Amino acid sequence: QPLADAYSTEVLGEIPIEPAIREGGDSGLPITVLAPNCETSKRYQDIATKLWDKLIEVNEDGGVDNQSIQPTIF
């Protein structure tokens, strides 16, 4: 949260560090496929929904250019 505050943005969600995520990534089958109803899968799905909703909101507001969301420091 402190990093999000520093950049005036929001945290869409938190994903716990757990072996099933790494194992799924290593095998090529994400946890959302291996265990779609587990709590971690639900968190991923919730974050994806929030991200989609945010993209729609920004687009409806006229969009935004890359410079305003990812400023160049140098």
pLDDT in tens, 1-21: 888 888 888 899 998 888 888
Sign of CA dihedral 50, 56, 59, 61: negative
pLDDT at 16: 85
Query: CA 12 to CA 25: how far, in whole Å?
Result: 21
Query: CA 16 to CA 40: how far, in whole Å?
Result: 7
Stretch 56-66: mean pLDDT:
81
pLDDT in tens, 17-56: 888 888 888 899 999 999 999 999 999 999 999 999 988 9
pLDDT at 69: 64
Domain boundaries, the chain: 2-69
pLDDT at 51: 93
Instruction: Please name the residues in contact with 53: beta carbons below 8 A apart, sequence gap of 6 or more.
Output: none
